[in-house]
Amino acid sequence: MSTTTPAPTPSPGVRYAWYGALLALGALVGVAGSLVQAAWFPGGLLLALLATAGLFYGGLRATGTQVGVASAGGGWLVAVVLLSLGRPEGDGVFGGGAGELLFLFGGMALAVMCATLPRLSRPAP
């Protein structure tokens, strides 16, 4: 039986750098997921949701706090909402189908699930 020891808690400066990086990565995954889910339905939708789940869970593991999930989710949500608004000319990334709604609500549900996962115990210093 193998036991793993959890990683030590990162310093506040390192954690804030992670929060900024996760915010940018969240926006990038949101843009990429928006394009992929519409282009290759239904496989693209599954791929986009897997990428968002990986990002949110990775944010939890990298920072050790739910704020990591929230920063990644915030970047993702801002990108997806801005892409869904469209332009005054009528151009938009989302066409209004079921895939777009599944991506939006599925991504939000994944963020909530990852944020409510129990944190790993940290060793006492």
pLDDT single digits (tens) 18-51: 899 999 999 999 999 988 987 888 888 999 999 9
pLDDT tens track for 65-98? 889 899 999 999 999 988 888 777 766 666 667 8
Asked whether residue 1 is assigned to any structural domain, the reply reads: no
Q: What are 38's two structure tokens?
A: 């519409």
Count of domains for the chain: 1
Asked whether residue 13 is assigned to any structural domain, the reply reads: no
Angstrom distances, CA of residue 32 to CA of 11, 37, 52:
31, 9, 10
pLDDT tens track for 93-122? 666 678 888 988 999 999 999 888 876 555
Asked whether residue 16 is assigned to any structural domain, the reply reads: no
Asked whether the beta carbons of 72 and 20 are under 8 A apart, the reply is: no
Residue 124 has pLDDT above 60, yes or no: no
Asked whether residue 27 is assigned to any structural domain, the reply reads: yes
Asked whether residue 63 is assigned to any structural domain, the reply reads: yes
- Domain holding 48, by residue range, is 23-115
Q: What are 29's two structure tokens?
A: 């995954």
Asked whether residue 6 is assigned to any structural domain, the reply reads: no
Question: What pLDDT is stored for residue 55 in this prediction?
Answer: 94
Q: In terms of pTM, does the model score above 0.75?
A: yes
Question: What pLDDT is stored for residue 69 in this prediction?
Answer: 92
| Torsion angle in degrees (nearest 10) through CA of 65, 68, 74, 77 | -100
Asked whether residue 12 is assigned to any structural domain, the reply reads: no
Asked whether residue 108 is assigned to any structural domain, the reply reads: yes
